[in-house]
Structure 1
Amino acid sequence: MPLLVLSGALGAAPARAQELNDARRIAIAERLSRSTVTITVRRRGIGSGFVVGAERFIITNGHVVEGAGRRPVSVHFPGGEVLDANVLVIDARTDLAVLQVAGRAPAPPIALGDSSRVRVGQSVLAYGSPHGLSGTLTQGIVSALRDNLRGVGDGRITGLIQTDAPINPGNSGGPLVNARGEVIGVNTLIISQAGGSEGIGFAVPSRLVRRLIRDLRDRLQNPRASAPPVRTPAPAAAASNAPVTAAPLPVWLGIEGDAFSGFGIRGIRVQRVIPGGPAAAAGIRGAEDPAPAVVRRMNVPWTGYVILALDGHPVRGWPDMIRLLGGKRPGDRATLTITVPQGGMEGSAVVELGAPPASP
């Protein structure tokens, strides 16, 4: 990628250059603080992102912005500017997305590293906005390299980077960098029993960011008038790998949540239930709500209901939920299978889906 700044091979560097001493860590943190952003989607939640390339594209996770529909996607820059962004592409295969603001993004690009040279045991730093706390830096190592992990993109990603660097909700879309400060991955998923970091996090390798940007540049060379964002579906959900047009969701569930994996289950953990929305009317509760009496009696941690399925179809994350809701209409009823993982309790709730709220 000629427009991205690349450094020499990681494996060829002297051991001394890879030491994360205080001075190096501070320098990397200062560089990340200038190039990393917080992304908010109204009524959906918070994620992270970072600026790359001469075009100053903003990279984040697809699940951070997927489902935004007509809701504004706001990018909070380090200097305090808050700008609306266009979603240029969402790739469900890799759970990556590319955004761009009008004009020149007020943040410098950060270099992409070579994820093919990542090795187990090397030091890494994660940066982002866990729980909305922007500018948070954590440190760890590469714990393993995984292939075909369910719950990340289409489940067919190779070279997924596993790390013990603390990652929490809100870190999604933020950079995982090596000891040179180069982005080697996009923080995407944690496996947790308690809902927070337990030292098992995963990042999509930077080679897939590089590929997505290359494909986007090729497409932008032949712009189409008023072209909507492009969403590349997972192969299992489409007859080919050709991009298809993304349309706003026709219905509204009324929750904010994030991917959950733990206790042998995967789903969407409900963080917040929008007052007056369909989920609230059905009795769904999120982490911000008081725990139901039955959960209090079980004396287990309350982290919000986890949605396991919609109308009997598994929901392993937001891409599944978006796909299933795409075939619904306002007034339709949907049955949600929900659980409280720590207590082993499972039940269902019937939600009457509403029309998407009007944009302000």
Structure 2
Amino acid sequence: MGKRPSFIDDLARASASGAGASQHTGIDDDALLDAYSRTVIGALERVQQSVAHIAVERRAASPASHGASGGSGSGFLFTPDGYLLTNSHVVHGATQLRVTLADGSTHTADLVGDDPSTDLAVLRIGANETLPHAQLGESAGLRVGQIAIAVGSPLGLAQTVTTGVVSALGRSLRSNSGRMIYDVIQTDAALNPGNSGGPLVNSAGQVIGVNTAIIPGAQAICFATAIDSAKWVITQLFAHGRVRRAYIGIAGTTVPVARKVQRYFDLPSTSGVRVMEVVKGSPAALGGVRVDDTVVTIDGVAVDGIDALQRLLDASRIDREVEIGVIRLTQRLNLRVKPVEQTG
């Protein structure tokens, strides 16, 4: 056998030296992690115990089918007494819901209510102890480019974590019910089947969105319902078991309002809602709202985006005439519209 190359001996000595240093010099393993890794690990430690796997059973699709169909998704505890937030499409039509928590315990869950229009649902599990729960953050102040961390149970693989950034804000996404979900967060944190309903969190471990969808065939284009929208839905589901909304019949998107326009018309905000579609025969159409109008107020209250518009069109405005302030070309108009209750 020939002489062993000297670099092999050098590597062996370096390896032994390194191992000895870590054992005898007391180097903290955390010091070997870069700042990004420490941030992600810290955020995960704050939220991971609240994340749950949800197993779903549904009735057979047709009499010819045998047994029951199933599915699964993710969710997360947001109160210490057993309330979970997840996606409507995960639990809608379920006959039985089983929730497995991070500690491995399994619980039967009841559906408090779901809202297909935002693809959100609230579940409740019985708990005899205080449960670890996620802290709900805010989505209003999000910035494109900030860290986004998705946690869930894709394909039944519990506590799976993916990371990325907030790619875009104020997106619109068509839900399974066919309605548009507004003020959606776009992220490149990878989602897979089963991630639906899990939390999207910021670098502080606060929930900023509820993971909801991917675009099949696309790469790094994933979506989450903004947590500010989710908070409002939660209060509605607690109060009514469903979300009662006033309907005026427009589709729109959040847009900035030029500073000079804001000053000239003395507007309360630097953004509004550009009308992209007006449903024929709808209250908005009957009230004179047109495509390309920018909605800036409802009854004098600022409408600075789609999320604000949805919150203002609550049950209190059903069948009651409201004044909608719009900017149309060079005019400020106040239009009278009578919302009806949203159905379906």
Pick the TM interval, shorter chain.
0.5 to 0.7
- 1:27 pairs with 29, 42, 46, which one? 42
Shift of 1:54: 4.3
**Which AA in structure 2 matches 1:170?**
G
Is 2:190 aligned against 1:175? no
Q: Which runs of 5 or more residues in structure 2 are unaligned?
A: 1-33, 58-68, 248-344
**Which AA in structure 2 matches 1:85?**
A
Please state whether the residue corresponding to 2:180 is helix, strand or coil: coil
- 1:92 pairs with 116, 123, 126, which one? 116
- 2:88 pairs with 54, 62, 65, which one? 62
8 Å Cα contact 2:184/2:226 also seen in 1: yes
Shift of 1:57: 1.1
- 1:210 pairs with 203, 206, 231, which one? 231
Please state whether the residue corresponding to 2:169 is helix, strand or coil: strand
Q: Which moved more, 1:43-52 or 1:96-105?
A: 96-105
8 Å Cα contact 1:77/1:107 also seen in 2: no
8 Å Cα contact 1:192/1:200 also seen in 2: no
Q: 1:89 to 1:104 in 2, by over 3 A?
A: farther
8 Å Cα contact 1:93/1:235 also seen in 2: no
8 Å Cα contact 1:74/1:83 also seen in 2: yes
**Which AA in structure 2 matches 1:61?**
N
Shift of 1:27: 2.0
Match of 2:97 in 1: 73
Tell me, in whole angstroms, the C-alpha distance in 1 between the residues paired with 2:82 and 2:141: 25
Tell me, in whole angstroms, the C-alpha distance in 2 between the residues paired with 1:157 and 1:175: 17
Please state whether the residue corresponding to 1:29 is helix, strand or coil: helix
- 2:77 pairs with 51, 70, 79, which one? 51
Please state whether the residue corresponding to 1:38 is helix, strand or coil: strand
**Which AA in structure 1 matches 2:56?**
V
Q: 1:200 to 1:153 in 2, by over 3 A?
A: farther
Query: Could you say what the CA RMSD is over the residues aligned between the two structures, in angstroms?
Result: 2.4
With normalisation by structure 2, the TM-score equals 0.55
Shift of 1:152: 6.1
Alignment of 1:190-201 (within 5 A): 190-193=214-217, 198-201=219-222
Q: 1:164 to 1:102 in 2, by over 3 A?
A: same
Q: 1:181 to 1:152 in 2, by over 3 A?
A: farther
Shift of 1:208: 1.7
Is 2:163 aligned against 1:142? no
Match of 1:111 in 2: 135
Shift of 1:150: 2.0
**Which AA in structure 2 matches 1:157?**
I
Q: Which moved more, 1:51-60 or 1:128-137?
A: 51-60
Match of 2:53 in 1: 38
Tell me, in whole angstroms, the C-alpha distance in 1 between the residues paired with 2:177 and 2:200: 18
Tell me, in whole angstroms, the C-alpha distance in 1 between the residues paired with 2:239 and 2:35: 37
- List per-residue Cα deviations over 1:41-81 (Å, max 9, x = no partner): 1332110000113443100000000011xx21000011111
- List per-residue Cα deviations over 1:237-264 (Å, max 9, x = no partner): xxxxxxxxxxxxxxxxxxxxxxxxxxxx
**Which AA in structure 2 matches 1:142?**
V
8 Å Cα contact 2:112/2:238 also seen in 1: no
Alignment of 1:183-262 (within 5 A): 183-193=207-217, 198-219=219-240, 230-232=241-243
- List per-residue Cα deviations over 1:310-351 (Å, max 9, x = no partner): xxxxxxxxxxxxxxxxxxxxxxxxxxxxxxxxxxxxxxxxxx
**Which AA in structure 2 matches 1:200?**
I
Match of 2:180 in 1: 156
Q: Percent of aligned pairs with the same residue?
A: 41
**Which AA in structure 1 matches 2:152?**
G
Tell me, in whole angstroms, the C-alpha distance in 1 between the residues paired with 2:246 and 2:81: 29
Tell me, in whole angstroms, the C-alpha distance in 2 between the residues paired with 1:98 and 1:20: 35
Q: Which moved more, 1:133-142 or 1:150-159?
A: 150-159
Please state whether the residue corresponding to 2:172 is helix, strand or coil: coil
- 2:126 pairs with 102, 105, 110, which one? 102
**Which AA in structure 1 matches 2:122?**
V
Please state whether the residue corresponding to 1:32 is helix, strand or coil: helix
Tell me, in whole angstroms, the C-alpha distance in 1 between the residues paired with 2:154 and 2:119: 18
Tell me, in whole angstroms, the C-alpha distance in 2 between the residues paired with 1:110 and 1:124: 15
8 Å Cα contact 2:236/2:242 also seen in 1: no
Q: Could you say which structure has the greater relative contact order, defined with CA pairs below 8 angstroms and 6 or more residues apart?
A: 1
**Which AA in structure 2 matches 1:56?**
G
Please state whether the residue corresponding to 2:144 is helix, strand or coil: coil
Shift of 1:174: 0.2
8 Å Cα contact 1:73/1:85 also seen in 2: yes
8 Å Cα contact 2:81/2:130 also seen in 1: no
**Which AA in structure 2 matches 1:183?**
V
Please state whether the residue corresponding to 2:54 is helix, strand or coil: strand
Please state whether the residue corresponding to 1:149 is helix, strand or coil: strand
With normalisation by structure 1, the TM-score equals 0.53
Shift of 1:21: 2.1
Match of 1:128 in 2: 152
**Which AA in structure 2 matches 1:120?**
V
